[in-house]
Structure 1
Amino acid sequence: MSCCAAGTEGALDLERAGVSLPSAEELKLCSRAVGPGLWQVDMSVPAVHCGTCISTVEGVLKALPEVERARVNLSTKRVSVVWKEAVDGVETDPVNLARAIASTGYSAHLFTAAEEASDALRNKLIRAVAVSGFAATNIMLLSVSVWSGAEASTRDLFHWISAMIAAPALIYAGRFFYESAWNALKHGRTNMDVPIAIGITLSYFASLWETIHHGEHAYFDATASLLFFLLIGRTLDHIMRDRARSAISGLARLNPRGAMVLGIDGSREYRAVDEIRVGDQVVIAAGDRIPVDGLVVSGESDLDMSIVNGESAPVSVRPGSEVQAGTLSLTGSLTVRATATARNSFLSEIIHLMEAAEGGRARYRRIADRAAQYYSPAVHLLAITAFIGWGLYDGDWKHAMMVAIAVLIITCPCALGLAVPVVQVVAAGRLFKAGVMVKDGSAMERLAEIEAVAFDKTGTLTLGRPRLVDAAKIEPVGFAVAAGLAAHSRHPLSRALWAAYGGQPRGFDTVREVPGAGVEAETEEGVWRLGNRRFACVADTVVASDKPYSEVVLSLDGFERATFLFEDMLRPRARSSIEALKQAGLDLGILSGDRAPVVAKLAADLGIDNWSAGLTPREKAESCAEASARGRRVLMVGDGINDAPALSSAHVSMAPATAADVGRQAADFVFMRDGLEAVPFAIEASRRAGRLIRENFVLAIGYNVIAVPIALLGYATPLIAAVAMSTSSIIVVANALRLNRLALDENALARKSAVTVPAGAPDNARIAA
């Protein structure tokens, strides 16, 4: 059968089963470009709740030829799929993605903000807890009379009443376990709800058997209480997960639902945020949040940009200023031309980074998922062994059944499945509050392993806001040429040169930028170059400057025409952060493309002994790659296009939010604030997260080491098993929440480093300390 025929047959089977799939048009509309020919779509898969669910959904998607990668986020119950637009020249049908998920028994549909806002699952769980609690309480009251020695007829009556109370409670409150277990079994797989469903069902029918045969003891109270405690555990797990990812939910609420769009004829039309397109002019009133990234066309205002830079002080914007989605207009009205859609704007990018942090397939996460995947079959085998063993041992098959039920319940791998993801999502949320974005949960694992930190200089150790020195002494014609070339570059020194000129620069038809070197333009006079001395000056008579300033050289056909000197400010708290990294036992170094005198002065100011200057992007990357080859785990902190290869080559990487797009995309972490304290804080948070993950593994495994023998020996009733299993999950989640106690105390960081700044020191030194 051809692939096309198979896909059609599968679609018909799903249609007959009443499965609703999103259309190709809906999926394409909700997808966003993530690379040449690559698109990403997020779908909601509300039924996933354990490691086995994750492996099943990811496995079936990765088997499709059009899927580049797939990742399930357990907290948000979403799957992000990166798919190819075409395979072997044939256009891809994105409906195949939803169809593949549906074939495993999990329903998949497009995610909406409204769905996230109304937590229907939480409300259903709370109602189920109430119903099972009501049933358990009333059955317990009836059982008191039975335990007190009621007559046989009264005892049978109370047993039948208990059976009638327990049955609807089991059906209504137990449907979460039954639906999940049946869905898994009918698709030829198992999950952690299968043993739970079997356990509560056997417990009920064993009690019903006793009632029918006028037995003295029935266990309806244990069945209802068992269900009650299981649901409490699942509800608390759900609520704690929601609490752990509250930072993501809070970010989503910052995005307005819509805005007024200005028409060509001057009319105004309210549009939902997802309907705003690039080029639309959006009217923002004072007190409104900006819905999409854009450029101010008219109006002036002060913006609350705390989500961008972490600072409480407002920032003034005027025509020509760039604004980001989620920022708040405080004082005036603006007209903003959209430069990105809502799905590609700043706020959406941050949310995606936050969600990706938990979805990463880190080493610990893979271990937990693999263990959970094989855990359920092992539990079933263990329960069958306990049933047969006890039945043969004492001949009491009813007691053997109770032991088997207790084994099924007590060995549920909920705690093991939660051990890693809950720590990762709590850590990502804590880092976000400190102004650090995490792209992948595995990045935190790698950051905790580092032995050394390598810094770029310009824009990393410094703010990348250089000031031109002695601008008044520069020859006007050369200044105009240099400013014209600098206008075509995003390098901080080029920006500073352009800002210092302030006049009408010389125009150029074509300008080419060479990463890590500079810019050049061919004219009738010759080739003008603006950049580092090695790039600009190819003549043998060139003599390098020994001044401790950053240098940009203007040359014509390789001969120097002008030299521009810049001084830069260190990042706030740079000295205290460097000292904190030293105290953490890390080796520090600087990899810079700047001149040796400048780098040497900066290294001496910060107390860094190991530094290299005049490096090309390739040499930076090779330095990181060589360290990795020697087994040396290095964190590279850099920004700009020239640092991207090194960021990719290092064991783990970090970039400031002011970095070029390429640098931010290559980095594993992005810090939003100006201060350098984000680096030691991220390392400490990652190390603590690693310790908590290991502690959770010990707690989960230790629980089973203790609980399983107790259940096998017959010392745990099904009720005790339910309480123990739920408690183990709650303990694991609570242990992860300890990470929220980690505080970013800038004053404490400064005290810890014991850095002193002499009286009369320049402002640059005081800010850096």
Structure 2
Amino acid sequence: MVAQLQHAPAAACPGCLAAPVREVVAPPAAAQIALSLPGIHCQGCIATVERGLSAQPGVKSARVNLTLKRALVEAAPEVTAADLIEALAELGHEAHELDPGALSATQADAAGRALLVRLAVAGFAAMNVMLLSVSVWSGATDATRDLFHWISAAISLPAIAYAAQPFFVNAWAALRVRRLNMDVPIALAILLALATSLWETALSGAHAYFDAALTLTFFLLAGRYLDHRTRAVARSAASELSALEVPRALRLEQGEQREVPIAEVAPGDLLLVRPGGRMPVDGEIVSGRSEIDRSLLTGETLPVFAEPGLGVSAGEVNLTGPLTVRAMAVGRDSSLQRMAELVAIAESGRSRYTSLADAAAKLYAPGVHILSGLSFLGWFLWAGDLRVALNIAAAVLIITCPCALGLAVPAVTTAASGRLFRQGLLIKHATALERLAEVDTVVFDKTGTLTAGRPELVNLEERSGADLAVALALAEASAHPLSVALAR
């Protein structure tokens, strides 16, 4: 029986990009510190954190990934995470040393649930105040109008104090260190709308804007929640790689098998890898013969014969027989983790388009405040009406928010890297995505990798039913690619 590879249209080979891993991802001389930044949410935060980290003695570079809410710092060996965390605390930003093993979907979703509750409170309050406002707009008498305005104030003040808390907290943190971020104009707009409305209500004025303040809060929270969900769905390619790491391994101790967490495995330990299991560490085969699927690292679609003396890497799949492997590199020293760090650096990389967006966003916040101040001054001098001038200044702050500018590039980079990784492509730097638009010729120098990787039978009709039945019975119990093709 003959199996033939079905050739698919040419696709980039992950092996060309990722291999040889041991040469490409050699450990850097400088220390790399990963920090979790749960409080960042806009381009102003990125600029503040990167400037603050880069100003610390011994820090060579600092890159913040907004989508993943983390910073990757390259620094001298004597620099510690505690030093950087203290420096960020002085800038008003909470930071923690990143422990990938401590991250979970539940922790990541806590912020999303909190935003959703605030969104519901703002929406409920906005609908009720809008009902009262309709009566005022319809021509309610002075006494009724004043009553409805005070009821609206009673609903709006506690609702905004709770729902708009993320904007107020972030704005205050920025102002404490004499900086501006995207939340400063937002918080100022909400407070101006409330202050103007309370002033109008206290003076029995005809117009109050409690409904506008609540509606603004509702839509801003809706946008922030959608952004949170987008970043949660756009899972990073580095996370995809880290997810391939085996959490536990079978360690051989005096002839007995003991299941231990991967963190307890040390170089020199003997590990048993069963058929169908992933290699938990980088190592060398001591005993056993099998076939290994190493397409993740090299792009080779067909399995490689494994025997004693062959080196293996974490993440490779043992297909047919049990293997005893001596651990050589574990944890962050493994090929899989070094690849994940390489991809994380790529996702945090700066390209010329990213830099353009950064520069525009840095100028935006002060520009908005200047424009709002000029609007207030111009209308006050021209109309001589303080209330009109305040309303227009608040409107300028309300309608201007550049968050999309700062979020677009990192979100697209992370989503594209994750999507390409799931298709078998490893992007080493964010600029590669931009360079693709300029590519007109692609040259491949490896054989056997530009295929779909799905063997198919070509002479099925030449075999008897009895032969096929025997072959199927044998193939169904095997994970070998050719056996899978027979069973299919």
Q: TM-score range by the shorter chain?
A: 0.7 to 0.9
Question: Is 2:143 aligned against 1:150?
Answer: no
User: Which of 96, 101, 105 is 1:117 aligned to?
Assistant: 105
Distance in 1 (CA, whole Å) between partners of 2:120 and 2:290 is: 51
8 Å contact kept, 1:291–1:342: no
8 Å contact kept, 2:59–2:79: no
Which amino acid is 1:53 matched to?
C
Question: Is 2:32 aligned against 1:40?
Answer: yes
After the TM superposition, which residues 57-96 of structure 1 pair with which residues of structure 2 at under 5 Å, given as runs? 57-85=49-77, 91-96=78-83
Measured at CA, do residues 142 and 92 of structure 1 come closer, stay the same or move farther in structure 2, by a change above 3 Å?
A: closer
Which amino acid is 1:117 matched to?
A
Deviation, 1:365, is 1.4
Deviation, 1:270, is 4.1
User: Which residue does the alignment assign to 1:245?
Assistant: 235
Deviation, 1:301, is 4.6
Distance in 2 (CA, whole Å) between partners of 1:162 and 1:271 is: 61
Distance in 2 (CA, whole Å) between partners of 1:280 and 1:274 is: 12
User: Which of 172, 175, 184 is 1:194 aligned to?
Assistant: 184
User: Deviation per CA, 1:506-548, whole angstroms, max 9, x where unpaired?
Assistant: xxxxxxxxxxxxxxxxxxxxxxxxxxxxxxxxxxxxxxxxxxx
Deviation, 1:158, is 2.5
Distance in 2 (CA, whole Å) between partners of 1:249 and 1:154 is: 58
User: Which of 123, 137, 147 is 1:133 aligned to?
Assistant: 123
Distance in 2 (CA, whole Å) between partners of 1:275 and 1:212 is: 68
Distance in 1 (CA, whole Å) between partners of 2:145 and 2:270 is: 77
8 Å contact kept, 1:195–1:376: yes
Distance in 2 (CA, whole Å) between partners of 1:197 and 1:101 is: 22
**Larger CA deviation: 295-304 vs 198-207:** 295-304
Question: Is 2:137 aligned against 1:170?
Answer: no
User: Which of 94, 105, 124 is 1:107 aligned to?
Assistant: 94
**Larger CA deviation: 193-202 vs 366-375:** 366-375
Distance in 2 (CA, whole Å) between partners of 1:140 and 1:310 is: 60
Which amino acid is 2:172 matched to?
W
User: Deviation per CA, 1:307-326, whole angstroms, max 9, x where unpaired?
Assistant: 33556665553433333323
Distance in 2 (CA, whole Å) between partners of 1:376 and 1:204 is: 21
SS of the aligned residue for 2:401 comes to coil
Question: Is 2:389 aligned against 1:396?
Answer: no
8 Å contact kept, 1:357–1:425: no
Which amino acid is 1:430 matched to?
R
SS of the aligned residue for 1:339 comes to strand
Question: Is 2:200 aligned against 1:213?
Answer: no
TM (norm. structure 2) is: 0.79
SS of the aligned residue for 1:64 comes to coil
Deviation, 1:197, is 0.8
Measured at CA, do residues 105 and 266 of structure 1 come closer, stay the same or move farther in structure 2, by a change above 3 Å?
A: farther
Distance in 1 (CA, whole Å) between partners of 2:26 and 2:113 is: 36
Distance in 2 (CA, whole Å) between partners of 1:402 and 1:274 is: 60
User: Deviation per CA, 1:476-506, whole angstroms, max 9, x where unpaired?
Assistant: xxxxxxxxxxxxxxxxxxxxxxxxxxxxxxx
User: Deviation per CA, 1:71-120, whole angstroms, max 9, x where unpaired?
Assistant: 111111111111212xxxxx555532222222211121122334342212
SS of the aligned residue for 2:143 comes to helix
Distance in 2 (CA, whole Å) between partners of 1:78 and 1:337 is: 34
Deviation, 1:368, is 1.4
Distance in 1 (CA, whole Å) between partners of 2:125 and 2:280 is: 49
User: Deviation per CA, 1:684-737, whole angstroms, max 9, x where unpaired?
Assistant: xxxxxxxxxxxxxxxxxxxxxxxxxxxxxxxxxxxxxxxxxxxxxxxxxxxxxx
8 Å contact kept, 1:353–1:438: no
Deviation, 1:382, is 0.3
Which amino acid is 2:40 matched to?
V
* Unmatched segments (≥5 aa) in structure 2: 1-24, 455-488
User: Deviation per CA, 1:221-257, whole angstroms, max 9, x where unpaired?
Assistant: 1111111110111111122223233544443333233
Distance in 1 (CA, whole Å) between partners of 2:245 and 2:327 is: 15
Which amino acid is 1:63 matched to?
A
User: Which residue does the alignment assign to 2:367?
Assistant: 378
User: Deviation per CA, 1:130-176, whole angstroms, max 9, x where unpaired?
Assistant: 22112112222222332233333333333222222222221222111
Measured at CA, do residues 224 and 312 of structure 1 come closer, stay the same or move farther in structure 2, by a change above 3 Å?
A: farther
8 Å contact kept, 2:72–2:345: no
Q: Which has the higher contact order (CA 8 A, sep 6+)?
A: 2
8 Å contact kept, 1:33–1:40: no
Measured at CA, do residues 187 and 444 of structure 1 come closer, stay the same or move farther in structure 2, by a change above 3 Å?
A: same
Q: CA RMSD in A?
A: 2.9
SS of the aligned residue for 2:92 comes to coil
User: Which residue does the alignment assign to 2:325?
Assistant: 336
SS of the aligned residue for 1:405 comes to helix
SS of the aligned residue for 1:35 comes to coil
User: Which residue does the alignment assign to 1:254?
Assistant: 244
Which amino acid is 2:308 matched to?
P
Deviation, 1:206, is 1.4
User: Deviation per CA, 1:277-313, whole angstroms, max 9, x where unpaired?
Assistant: 3222233344543332222333445555453355666
Distance in 1 (CA, whole Å) between partners of 2:261 and 2:382 is: 69
Measured at CA, do residues 157 and 437 of structure 1 come closer, stay the same or move farther in structure 2, by a change above 3 Å?
A: same
Measured at CA, do residues 409 and 325 of structure 1 come closer, stay the same or move farther in structure 2, by a change above 3 Å?
A: farther
User: Deviation per CA, 1:535-564, whole angstroms, max 9, x where unpaired?
Assistant: xxxxxxxxxxxxxxxxxxxxxxxxxxxxxx
SS of the aligned residue for 2:169 comes to helix
Distance in 2 (CA, whole Å) between partners of 1:181 and 1:422 is: 23
Measured at CA, do residues 312 and 128 of structure 1 come closer, stay the same or move farther in structure 2, by a change above 3 Å?
A: farther
SS of the aligned residue for 1:172 comes to helix
Measured at CA, do residues 415 and 348 of structure 1 come closer, stay the same or move farther in structure 2, by a change above 3 Å?
A: same
Question: Is 2:262 aligned against 1:273?
Answer: yes
Distance in 1 (CA, whole Å) between partners of 2:113 and 2:242 is: 21
Distance in 1 (CA, whole Å) between partners of 2:151 and 2:120 is: 19
Aligned residues: 427
Measured at CA, do residues 93 and 421 of structure 1 come closer, stay the same or move farther in structure 2, by a change above 3 Å?
A: closer
User: Which residue does the alignment assign to 2:486?
Assistant: none
- Which structure has the bigger radius of gyration? 1
User: Which residue does the alignment assign to 1:413?
Assistant: 402
8 Å contact kept, 1:73–1:356: no
Distance in 2 (CA, whole Å) between partners of 1:164 and 1:298 is: 76
Measured at CA, do residues 312 and 401 of structure 1 come closer, stay the same or move farther in structure 2, by a change above 3 Å?
A: farther
Which amino acid is 1:259 matched to?
A
Measured at CA, do residues 446 and 103 of structure 1 come closer, stay the same or move farther in structure 2, by a change above 3 Å?
A: farther
8 Å contact kept, 1:387–1:400: yes
Which amino acid is 2:197 matched to?
S
8 Å contact kept, 2:236–2:415: no
Measured at CA, do residues 392 and 331 of structure 1 come closer, stay the same or move farther in structure 2, by a change above 3 Å?
A: same
8 Å contact kept, 1:34–1:40: no
Distance in 2 (CA, whole Å) between partners of 1:225 and 1:386 is: 23
User: Which residue does the alignment assign to 2:355?
Assistant: 366
8 Å contact kept, 1:33–1:39: no
Distance in 2 (CA, whole Å) between partners of 1:129 and 1:99 is: 32
8 Å contact kept, 2:236–2:414: no
SS of the aligned residue for 1:218 comes to coil
* Unmatched segments (≥5 aa) in structure 1: 1-31, 86-90, 464-570, 573-673, 678-743, 747-769
SS of the aligned residue for 1:420 comes to helix
Distance in 2 (CA, whole Å) between partners of 1:112 and 1:94 is: 12
TM (norm. structure 1) is: 0.51
User: Which residue does the alignment assign to 1:589?
Assistant: none
User: Deviation per CA, 1:590-620, whole angstroms, max 9, x where unpaired?
Assistant: xxxxxxxxxxxxxxxxxxxxxxxxxxxxxxx
